[in-house]
Chain A
Amino acid sequence: MKLHEKQFVRHASGHSPVDKEGFLGKKGEARPTYQRRWFSLRGNLLFYYEKRGDPGPLGVIVLEGCSVQLCESSAGDFAFAIVFQGPGLRTYKLTAEDQHEQESWVKALLSANFGYLQMLLLDLERIYQEVSGSSKPLVLGPAPGHALLGKEGRGYAAGQLQAPPPSGKSKKSPKLWPKRHAQVSPTSAETPPTVGVVAGVEEWSVVDDTPLEAFVILHSRYGREIEEVREEWRKKKEEGGGENNEPLLIDLG
């Protein structure tokens, strides 16, 4: 598989924040000896250099699907390991200069993976929507009788973001996040007693728009469904020969 080295060198050479760097001993893959290398953690990539100040890294370790463990140190090694689970996958054995560095590296590496960041982001997005949308009159919350989907559930606050995020859109990361469902409850309590409009909601997976855009989309689509259901109800009423003279539940004029 081809990697484009330039992309990594560029990423490693100063445009992105360094989460942690320092000297570590690295055990060779085949050899039992440890080599002192300069390590630099940026995001979910751990770069290592033959010498500090080298322009290009000797190598990179992509930190996904691994665990980080403290190791038994034989000679006061302050050792720890990056362990990739799976057949044929590697364990990187590293040694730090002292206990403080050992612990600091382990902590840094544990929180370096993409999934962890995604989880934090998911949480904060949810909190933000709850907190910024709570003063608005129209809140799209869970439909009555529907259980919350737990972490995966989303209630959209219809409102505006106080300050636009850098790209102007909400920050959903599309990759490993499960499909999200809009849980919508009608603001007016009554709908004509035919096909449950709510049933149609479940199939919607709401997209990555800002709450305001999402509301507009939902509103127009919801409005159409209401119209269809109302049409059905009206037809049924006509077919019924006008035997029940109930007034229109919703008089839309």
Chain B
Amino acid sequence: MRFNEKELLCISKQPSEKAAELGMRGPKKGDVVKRRLVKLVINFLFYFRTDEEEPAGALLLEQCKVEQEEPMAFSVAFLDESEKKYLFECESSEQCQEWVESLTRASYEFMRRSLMFYRSEIHKLTGKDPLEQYGISEEALPGQLSKTL
């Protein structure tokens, strides 16, 4: 499958509030924990070998489940492959919880659902469509959103 790699590399270099060196272990049997710089940008989780400028890889954070596994570790698994987990080891349980929260909210679909929720709640409370008030026409809404109300 082709993808726009150069552009994705640019994305991986954007500043991010969520970037840290964590222990990371792949989902396959025999995978071991390796130190990686893990960085969340938009709905991608990039991981870099600690001395490299370009990411070794990226996980697309859609249709995935993020959960705390141990006090200081969390996992990322994908729908329909839930036994295959990427494991991430943190320095503290606080850090772990923060990552779980951040990654859970990182997907485009999660944000879209949140937007629909707020739009509908605001409409219930005020009788007005908040997006309309802000001059956003139906056509300017991300696809599925225009069918919410």
Q: A124 touching B130 by the CB < 8 A rule?
A: yes
CB < 8 Å neighbour of B3 from A9, A61, A172:
A61
Residues in chain B within 8 A of chain A (CB atoms)? 1-12, 14-18, 40-44, 54-60, 62-64, 78-81, 101-102, 104-106, 108-115, 117-119, 121-122, 124-126, 130-131, 134, 136, 139-144
Please tell me if A107 contacts chain B, counting CB pairs below 8 Å: yes
CB < 8 Å neighbour of A89 from B6, B14, B55, B119:
B6
Contact flags A159-177 to B (C-beta < 8 A → 1, else 0): 0001101110101111111
Taking the closest CB of chain B, its distance from the CB of A117, in whole angstroms, is 5
Q: A11 touching B1 by the CB < 8 A rule?
A: no
Residue of chain A at shortest CB distance from B8: A62
Tell me the total A-B contact number using a CB cutoff of 8 A.
199
Taking the closest CB of chain B, its distance from the CB of A4, in whole angstroms, is 7
Q: B4 touching A62 by the CB < 8 A rule?
A: yes
Given contacts A112-B142, A117-B142, contact A60 B101 (CB under 8 A): no
Given contacts A7-B78, A10-B79, A58-B2, contact A175 B18 (CB under 8 A): yes
Taking the closest CB of chain A, its distance from the CB of B79, in whole angstroms, is 6
| Residues in A neighbouring B118, C-beta threshold 8 A | 121, 124-125, 127-128, 171
Which residues A58-95 have CB closer than 8 A to chain B? Answer: 58-62, 64-66, 84, 86, 88-90
Q: A120 touching B126 by the CB < 8 A rule?
A: no
Q: B108 touching A44 by the CB < 8 A rule?
A: yes
How many angstroms between the C-alpha atoms of A9 and B108 in the bound complex? 16
Q: B121 touching A43 by the CB < 8 A rule?
A: no
Which residues A1-35 have CB closer than 8 A to chain B? Answer: 1-11, 15-20
Q: B131 touching A120 by the CB < 8 A rule?
A: yes
How many angstroms between the C-alpha atoms of A61 and B6 in the bound complex? 11
How many angstroms between the C-alpha atoms of A247 and B41 in the bound complex? 56
Residue of chain B at shortest CB distance from A104: B139
Taking the closest CB of chain A, its distance from the CB of B131, in whole angstroms, is 7
CB < 8 Å neighbour of B62 from A16, A86, A128, A171:
A16
Q: A117 touching B106 by the CB < 8 A rule?
A: no
Given contacts A2-B56, A16-B109, contact A89 B8 (CB under 8 A): no
Please tell me if A114 contacts chain B, counting CB pairs below 8 Å: yes
Q: Given A1-B57, A6-B78, 19 other A-B contacts at CB below 8 A?
A: A1-B8, A4-B57, A11-B60, A19-B144, A43-B108, A43-B112, A56-B1, A88-B6, A90-B4, A111-B140, A114-B43, A120-B131, A123-B134, A124-B122, A124-B131, A171-B110, A171-B114, A173-B105, A176-B17
Interface size in chain A (residues, C-beta < 8 A): 69
Q: B57 touching A10 by the CB < 8 A rule?
A: no
Q: B142 touching A19 by the CB < 8 A rule?
A: yes
Given contacts A15-B79, A90-B7, A127-B122, contact A174 B102 (CB under 8 A): yes
Given contacts A15-B79, A120-B131, contact A66 B7 (CB under 8 A): yes
Taking the closest CB of chain A, its distance from the CB of B141, in whole angstroms, is 7
Given contacts A60-B2, A127-B130, contact A118 B125 (CB under 8 A): no
Please tell me if A132 contacts chain B, counting CB pairs below 8 Å: yes
Q: A169 touching B101 by the CB < 8 A rule?
A: yes
Among B18, B105, B109, max chain A CB count under 10 A is at: B105
Q: A62 touching B142 by the CB < 8 A rule?
A: no
